[in-house]
Structure 1
């Protein structure tokens, strides 16, 4: 589907509603979090959402992430769902999500996986790379492998990088890999192996000064001092936490972040089914 302007703005405002509740709970519990990825870009370049964007990303140090998924459900109440791959075997993404109960944000992948996802905000745990270069390389390599296996085992309709004949070959290969991974690995095994690799550098005696969202382990690590302690930015009229040096963060992630991309490169994550439920 493609959004019309009213539906996209309605979606953004519901995501903002979720974000405000997450912010409230984190303040009550003393949990550190910060705007991440395109949400930081939107805050600095647009003062809120990137106009064509349709999601919110939040980062948390691993210890704060673990506290949030354990304690936040009791503070958020029945209106919200905190979903993680540990609690939901149909979830392919190896990080947390908070969504509004009674809504639906369905992609081809989530439908195939039987993952009944609502309108959501992503929670991305940050782990430390090991200070040993060989261990750090293995850590990132293993995390890339297990996140890929998770996506392939949950759905065969994976978005591939090419179109035409090459894209058809890639899609066929993904379909074959889907069947193979489902036979070889249970969701519990995938999550366990991923978490073991992701967190192996968090012991203070082993940790480097570099942080990574291990579900996106191909990205270059961020200096801890770039991320923490948090700064404050304005997002949709709200003062919210951001990385310690948000401009340096954006330069590393996007390069010339102040420059608007051409219209044809302005992408989002439009689902195949969108239902606002009781919030319509």
Structure 2
């Protein structure tokens, strides 16, 4: 095992999620290769079981803009329609290679996300948040379930609002040092408010209640739905299901992997119409690990 300790930028009081970490180029590439090995195992399982999945988030952007990782990216995101996600979880419990393990909401202790991770055993990818939560996070690939949104716009907005609330509550319950949208005085106020919420949530809730409340936000009538969203990470207003499925294949690190069928529409909705252009240097973000061990 090789161990590295990474240091966040000195002007930041804490290495918050989303801040840039200056990897050594060889180290970042080694991390990406480790994640590709996890991805290959997931792809093999999905092919064997007939499970639909697709590259998600920045991994879609990387596929279409770079034919692989965004050069500074340090993770892989996958999406699955909820029925396929449920099938994947059940198959992965027994069929993943021995060197991989699942982290699951409601099952894995001290685990804040409402989506699954496939992690490589014996590795570390630790952030301030995972350390505070007591979650021993390894090198991982994220897997996001896509849920149908109600065709009733008022109910759909309620779905998204409740999912965001309980998702945020889970992160605040597990750690007081979470990513805030601003810096300076405003950011300090936001950070202080988050710490207050953290202690209040620890008094009022537990992990079981958090996941029960989140799952309740999924239980609504979605018959006739034409839109879907990652309610487990509800950062958008959702996508037209016809833009997501069926998938198509695109190049990613020498592989042909599935992406949303209308990936261009997906990327425009997610990142804006200028997604083909590289962002400024100060906006090139990754996950800022504090400890990384292969």
TM-score, shorter chain, exceeding 0.5: yes
Equivalent of residue 44 in structure 1, options 64, 75, 79: 64
Correspondence list, 1:1-280, <5 A: 1=7, 2-202=22-222, 206-255=223-272, 256-276=274-294
Whole-Å separation in 2 of the counterparts to 1:9 and 1:111: 24
How far did residue 19 of structure 1 move? 0.4
Does the CA contact (< 8 Å) of 2:181 and 2:187 recur in 1? yes
Whole-Å separation in 1 of the counterparts to 2:166 and 2:56: 23
Whole-Å separation in 1 of the counterparts to 2:85 and 2:136: 22
How far did residue 249 of structure 1 move? 1.0
Superimposed CA distance per residue, residues 235-257 of structure 1 (whole angstroms, 9 cap, x where no aligned partner): 00001111011111111111211
Q: TM-score, normalised by structure 1?
A: 0.95
Unpaired runs of at least 5, structure 1:
none
Change (3 A) 1:231 1:106: same
Superimposed CA distance per residue, residues 164-214 of structure 1 (whole angstroms, 9 cap, x where no aligned partner): 222211111111100101111111111111122124245xxx241000000
How far did residue 47 of structure 1 move? 0.8
Once the two structures are overlaid, the 10-residue window that deviates more, 215-224 or 141-150, is 215-224
Whole-Å separation in 1 of the counterparts to 2:285 and 2:253: 20
Does the CA contact (< 8 Å) of 1:127 and 1:201 recur in 2? no
Superimposed CA distance per residue, residues 209-231 of structure 1 (whole angstroms, 9 cap, x where no aligned partner): 00000023240210000000111
RMSD: 1.2
Superimposed CA distance per residue, residues 1-43 of structure 1 (whole angstroms, 9 cap, x where no aligned partner): 3311011000000001100100000001111100011101101
RCO (CA 8 Å, sep 6+): is it higher in 1 or 2?
A: 2
Superimposed CA distance per residue, residues 93-122 of structure 1 (whole angstroms, 9 cap, x where no aligned partner): 110000100000000000000011100000
Whole-Å separation in 1 of the counterparts to 2:204 and 2:215: 18
